[in-house]
Amino acid sequence: MIFDWYVNGDADSKSLSLLAVAKKLSELQIPTFYDLIGRKKPTSGYGVWHPATVGYILGNTAYIGKWAYGKTTRVTERVRELPDGRRALVAVESRDDMPRERWIEVDVPAILEGEDGRALFAAAQERLAYNKRNAARNCKRTYLLRGMLTCECGATMAGTPAPQGGYAYYHCMRKQWEKSNAGRDRCKARMVRADWADVAVWQEIEGKLLDAENLIEGLRERQADAERAIGPLKDQLRWAEDRLAQCDARIKRAMDLYLDGRYPKDWLDEQVDKERRGKADLERTRHDLAGRIEAGRISDEDIATVERFRADVLEGIAGATPVNKRRLLEILRVQCRIVEVDGERKIVGSWLIPGDEIIANVTNPRRSARCLWSASSRR
């Protein structure tokens, strides 16, 4: 039920957040683990759930029948910065994550069974990973490339303001040496000015919107490719809906036979209970398939949004808000990475049009504009 709510949602919404799932469980007064073993919780009462518990359940492979030993290891080495600026190793015990290939997996009874259960678990992992990359948290600034930019080392880059409250930057998550394997694999890459990177990528996207005369046709082709790719999923969805209709018909038939006096009440209860269990499995399958179809589809609304942006760019309208810019980058599936070529840092990446690469220089846009103006005036 937790997995289904998180991926497919309930009757009122498409998908629920960790907090919404926790609230729903609390409203239903479903006992937690501590409640079942009779252990008193220090900060909450009976049947009160926390979002962190829901997140732990959603990421636990035991629910698909794979319990793992050795996912973390005890570490006593930690790096601490001394007042004089030097760094020293201190004996502080903590736990670090181990690579997945070093886990020892043991088969256990699965709660999410079969292909449908594994598909539901995989969909939950995708949503957890996406939300982790794109979580707005309590950001006081708008980072255009939040969750879309990776470092030269391959780690995700996160937005952060300068300690003095000045410019915002993108920094590598492995730069936090105290949280990265005792500092042994800390990334040495420099931070990137957020305003420079945002302007560089946005100007590149604007240029592509101007240059790509057949952009909308290309998007229509990608839309058709996406529809063909999800064709088998749509066939499975129709199969699940047909099976649900058959379950309803069998329940109605059993009710008619009972009302005609041909079978007793116990027989009716047994038949209805069996059909309802089958319906519950089919409902989960239908929700999972519908979610996967929706995630892989490029909608007409998305294409219309790109068309409106392109029309504004062609007319010289520069009034796009950061939220609108962010929405456009999400529609265009922009993914970027910092690289260094001949001592110069660049942003390279991909977007919705395959084979068309994004390449942007990470430089001061004002300085570049001044240099361009000076060169033209000298000519």
- Name the least confident of 158-167, 253-262, 367-376: 367-376
Looking at the whole model, is its pTM more than 0.75?
no
- pLDDT band for position 376 (cuts 50, 70, 90): very low
CB–CB of 214/253 below 8 Å?
no
Question: How does pLDDT run across 178-203, given as a tens digit for each residue?
Answer: 444 444 567 778 888 888 888 888 88
CA distances for 184 relative to 109, 179, 236, 253, angstroms: 38, 10, 48, 68
231-296 CATH choice from 2.30.110, 1.20.120, 1.20.58, 3.40.50: 1.20.58
CB–CB of 282/244 below 8 Å?
yes
Question: How does pLDDT run across 96-144, given as a tens digit for each residue?
Answer: 777 777 778 888 898 988 888 888 898 898 888 877 766 655 556 678 8
Domain ranges of the chain: 1-65+111-135, 70-107, 144-211+303-379, 231-296
Residues 6 or more apart in contact with residue 45 via CB below 8 angstroms: none
Q: Pick the closest to residue 166 from 202, 147, 137, 141 (CA basis).
A: 141
